[in-house]
Amino acid sequence: MSSDFKFGFVTIVGKPNVGKSTLMNRLIGHKISITSKRPQTTRHRILGIYTDKARQIVFVDTPGIHSVKRKSNRKTINRVINKTAISSIEGVDVVCFMITAKGWTDDDKLVLESLRNTGAPVLLVINKLDQLKSVNALLPLIEQSSQLFEFSDIVPTSALGRGKQDNVEHLLDVLTRYLPSEPAGFDEDQITDRSFRFLVSELVREQLFRRLGDELPYATAVEVTNFDMQSTPVQISADIWVEKNSHKSMVIGKSGESLKAIGTAARKNCEQLLEKKVFLELFVKVRTGWSDNARDLYSLGYDESIDS
């Protein structure tokens, strides 16, 4: 490796649903972080590592920062989620702050407030460019953004890869300018800090977010109870935690159809991730109050302290 090799950490922050996880997956070229059209899909801090000959960029995907003043967001899990996101800003080389091309909302401004004291350069990513009605709307949005904060750079993008100019390569190049000259910190083929076991539990949770209606996904969690990579096919069992009996029957669905669809889709994604055939067994278990219970949250891997 040459001496001008660049290595550093980039945190991606923003309100829920702006496309942070989609962008991280796109930047590193692997599906590491789960995505859905619902807000608050990501619940954990997760690293995605991009490496080429000249640089290694470690992206930190974070849960969407949201107001806990709202009644629906008062549970312990919401405080844990915000704390995870905000603590991920400390000590990184660049912060990528993300909004969408629809323009600034109060929720975006709330996230911006938590960035005011960060020592790192803050770069604004304006995502979902494909949803912009006219390119003429972009310039005023950039001007308004510059007035709100001294962003180091402003990069419009389309993380989904829709539209002619998605700018994803350009974003990698802009970010590289802010990284120190240092040797790589991870093996060149490592793409995340998370275990397969964790990623599998997330792939099941992704299907709950994509397939269940209303508030139900927010009342669910997934725990992998058995994971045997040595067997063929790979044997995986997981429990889906729900808050009450009525939720259990909704997850299972009429004649088990809903659970079957969740299992089939999650299994296919697991097979893609592990590059092996997978046998996936899912159980639905009632665990009343898990989302407000510190011990349950800890056993699910929410490892931040939750005293504030």
Give whichever of 38 and 248 is closer to ligand GTP, judged by the CB atom.
38
CB 111 → ligand GTP: shortest distance, Å? 10
Which of ligand GTP, Mg ion, none sits in contact with 127, Cβ below 5 to 8 A by type? ligand GTP
Q: In this structure, what token pair is assigned to residue 281?
A: 């067994």
Question: CB nearest ligand GTP: which residue?
Answer: 64
The residue type at 274: L
Residues in contact with ligand GTP by CB under 6 A are 14, 16-22, 35-37, 39-42, 63-64, 127-128, 130-131, 158-160, 162
Q: Residue 36: which of Mg ion, ligand GTP, none does it interact with, CB under 5 to 8 A by kind?
A: ligand GTP
- Yes or no: say if 142 and 114 are a contact pair by the CB < 8 Å rule: no
Neighbours of 261 (CB within 10 A): 14
Phi-psi region of 281 (alpha: psi -120 to 50; beta: other; left: phi over 0): beta
Q: How far is the CB of 151 from ligand GTP (least distance, A)?
A: 18
List the single partner that 18 binds among ligand GTP, Mg ion, none, CB under 5 to 8 Å by kind. ligand GTP
CA angle (225, 229, 233) in 5-degree steps: 100
SS3 229: coil
Nearest to Mg ion by Cβ — which residue?
42
42 binds Mg ion (CB under 5 A): yes
Partner from ligand GTP, Mg ion, none contacting 121, C-beta within 5 to 8 A by type:
none
> What is the residue whose two structure tokens read 């979902």?
128
**Residue 22 interacts with, from ligand GTP, Mg ion, none (CB under 5-8 Å by kind):** ligand GTP
Query: Any idea what DSSP says for residue 65?
Result: P
Rounded to the nearest whole angstrom, what is the least distance from the CB of residue 274 to Mg ion in the complex?
A: 22
**Nearest distance from residue 210's CB to ligand GTP, in Å?**
9
**Smaller CB distance to ligand GTP: residue 9 or 97?**
97
Considering only CA atoms, which of 270, 196, 277 is closest in space to residue 234? Answer: 277
Looking only at residues 183 through 212 of this chain, which bind Mg ion when binding is defined by CB under 5 A? Answer: none
- CA–CA dist 127, 135 (Å, integer): 13
User: How far apart are alpha carbons 288 and 290 in whole angstroms?
Assistant: 6
Nearer to ligand GTP, 37 or 53 (CB): 37
Q: How many CB atoms lie within 10 A of CB 153?
A: 16
- How many residues are given for the chain? 308
Residue with tokens 């080389």: 93
CB of 23 to Mg ion, least distance (A): 9
290 secondary structure, DSSP code: G
* For ligand GTP, the closer CB: 56 or 167: 167
Of 33 and 145, nearer to ligand GTP (C-beta) is 33
Question: Which of 21, 88, 201, 207 is close enough to bind Mg ion by CB under 5 A?
Answer: 21
Alpha-carbon distances, residue 41 vs 218, 219, 250 (angstroms):
9, 12, 19
Residues forming contacts to Mg ion in the complex (CB under 5 A) are: 20-21, 41-42
